[in-house]
Structure 1
Amino acid sequence: MTEKPVLDSRAKVIIAACEMIGENPASTLSVRTVAARAGVSMGSLRHHFPTQRALRDAVLRTIYDVATSDDEVIYDRSVAPRERLVHCLRQILAPQVGDEARRAWTTVFDAFIATEPTDETRAAYLTMAAEGTRRMEHWLTVLDEEGALVPGDVRQHANFLNAVVNGVSIERALPTETSVLERETATLYQAVDAVLRAVDQ
């Protein structure tokens, strides 16, 4: 019988915090709550994550790395840049469809839009948005180094694609017709075409 691996306190904290974000994407990750859920002391948590910001950053990096674990595709030059980038965008969208998408956007709306944001919720949102931009910039930088990207600011291209992905994910949460996948695919390709050189598509 194979024994389960023993997790160190850092891994326990990351797992507990990721579970909390999975249950509530707007969670501010209270250090006390995360420590209790992870079954570690506050001192142990603070040893690995001296600030709440450090904890949030690590958790969001972990979530994005898992959600977009098929990262090698962006380096696969046997596949056209256009196909690689659309594949990466689909990785962001993949986790939420239908009721899941609606619940996720309802939670985000309640936490960040419906009520006046506190410093804590503002920081949580900005951290989440920054991590999404970091991931998008990574993909675009790889393509830029190949000469596949339209000349310009990588960050502006990333912001544009993030806005498109957000819009598509909101559409997934709304009542829609059965041809949503076809429309979504066309939208993603059109967005990708706007940031890639035509010769490489």
Structure 2
Amino acid sequence: METREKILRAAAEMLAEDMAAKLSVRAVAARAGVSTGSLRFHFPTQRALQDSLLARIYAHLLPGDPIRDRTLPPRERLLNCLRQVLAPLGTNEDARTAWGTMYRTFIEPEPTEAVRTAYLGHEREAERRVEHWLTVLEEEGALPPGDHTRNVRFLLTVLNGLSVERALPTGGSVLVAETETLNAAVDHVLSTRPAPPAGPARP
């Protein structure tokens, strides 16, 4: 257990220094001062390492993490997680301020390497957060095992679109339309199944 903790601590330090870090087995092992074989013993795959680290991070940062509230069904928990992301944007004025900051920070400036690196750090953190939600649901059997990359990207695209809508002028209730969109997004993700294997190639 001491070796496992050293590995998780090293991976957490790497993320703290660079949110875009890929956490390769070799790099984390070197940082932890253990062999790659030892790391593989505790974490057979890179994803196993990332999943364990994310669970540790979010258990610490979000002790009331909605995805772990098993008094609610998986669908409601995923909905609550998405709402939790949008909640800080508040009303139209707050959303406009948030998007104004985003524009001035990442869109208006020339796309230098520093700007790109800063944005990718934010993007990677968002991806890790959504990946954490889907991994928890997978562990419970609410989602099939497999790569969640497509669904992570889909949910982040939905959240980005809804956050822009909050900042734009509208004649109707943003929250009503937003709720409908979130429900549709969650239904889509929870109905996703792995693609069937390709059949034999035809001559």
TM above 0.5: yes
Question: TM class by shorter-chain length?
Answer: 0.5 to 0.7
Q: Is the 8 A contact 2:19 2:124 kept in 1?
A: no
Work out whether residues 150 and 197 of structure 1, in 8 Å CA contact, stay in contact via their aligned partners in 2.
Answer: no
Shift of 1:156: 1.5
User: What amino acid sits opposite 1:134 in the alignment?
Assistant: R
- Equivalent position of 1:78 in the other structure: 71
Give the Å deviation of 1:172. 0.2
1:173 — aligned with what?
167
Query: Identity over aligned residues, as a percent?
Result: 51
Aligned counterpart in structure 1 of residue 93 of structure 2, from 63, 77, 99: 99
Q: TM-score, normalised by structure 1?
A: 0.62
Question: How far did residue 57 of structure 1 move?
Answer: 3.4
Q: State yes or no: 1:122 paired with 2:116.
A: yes
> CA 1:119 to 1:177, structure 2 compared with 1: closer, same or farther past 3 Å?
same
> Match of 2:62?
69
Does the aligned pair in 2 maintain the 1:157–1:195 contact within 8 Å?
yes
Cα distance change of structure 1 residues 71 and 161 upon mapping to structure 2, 3 Å threshold: farther
Residue of structure 1 in register with 2:191 after alignment: 197
- Match of 1:35? none
The corresponding residue for 1:57 is 19
**1:126 Cα deviation from its structure 2 partner:** 0.2
Moved over 3 A (4+): 53-58, 68-72
- In 2 relative to 1, CA 178–70 (structure 1 residues): closer, same or farther, beyond 3 Å? farther
Does residue 160 (structure 1) correspond to residue 122 (structure 2)? The answer is no
Does residue 112 in structure 1 map to residue 106 in structure 2? Answer: yes
1:104 Cα deviation from its structure 2 partner? 1.3
Partners of 1:70 and 1:177 in 2: CA distance: 38
CA offsets 1:79-128 (integer angstroms, 9 cap, x no match): 11111001000111111121111111122122222232111111110000
What is the deviation of 1:72? 3.4
Residue 78 of structure 1: how far off its partner (Å): 2.6
Give the gaps of 5 or more residues in structure 1: 1-49
Q: What value does the CA root-mean-square deviation take over the aligned residues?
A: 2.9
Deviations 1:44-85 (A, max 9, x none): xxxxxx99x844639xx9xx96xx836432122231111100
The code of the aligned residue for 1:159 comes to R
Equivalent-residue separation in structure 1 for 2:102 and 2:84 (angstroms): 20
Tell me, in whole angstroms, the C-alpha distance in 2 between the residues paired with 1:123 and 1:167: 22
How far, CA to CA, are the matches of 1:93 and 1:155 in structure 2?
Answer: 21
Q: Distance in 1 between matches of 2:154 and 2:64?
A: 20
Paired with 2:150 and 2:160, the residues of 1 have a C-alpha distance of 15
Q: Secondary structure at the match of 1:57?
A: coil
Shift of 1:153: 2.4
The answer on 1:89 being equivalent to 2:51 is: no
Q: Distance in 2 between matches of 1:71 and 1:161?
A: 21
Contact 1:85–1:192 (CA under 8 A) maintained in structure 2: yes
How far is the alpha carbon of 1:145 from its aligned partner? 1.3
Q: CA deviation at 1:184?
A: 0.3
Contact 2:93 2:167 in 1 (8 A): yes
